[in-house]
Amino acid sequence: MVLLSNGVPIETVSKLFGHAKLSTTQIYARVVETKISEDIQNLLKRFESKKQKQLKAVQ
C-alpha cells in the first residue's frame, strides 16, 4: 500500500479503508511487504547480471 510505505500509520490506513478490525489491514500490509521484498530481490539479481555482463565485456 502506498500509504503504509510512505509512513502513514497502519491505524490511520485501517480507518481510511473502513476496516472494522486492524487485523484486516494487517493482511494487506503483509502482502505489500512480501511484494516489496520480492521486487528488491529481483532488482538485485538484475544488477548482478548486468555487473557480470560488464565484467565479461571488459575481459
- Domain coordinates of the chain in residue numbers? 2-58
Give the mean pLDDT of the chain: 88
- Residue 1, pLDDT > 80, answer no
The yes-or-no verdict on residue 42 having pLDDT over 80 is yes
Among 44, 27, 42, 20, residue whose Cα is nearest residue 4: 27
pTM of the model: 0.54
- With left for phi above 0 and alpha for psi between -120 and 50, is residue 18 left, alpha or beta? left
Average pLDDT over residues 4-17: 90
Residue 13 pLDDT level (bands cut at 50, 70, 90)? very high
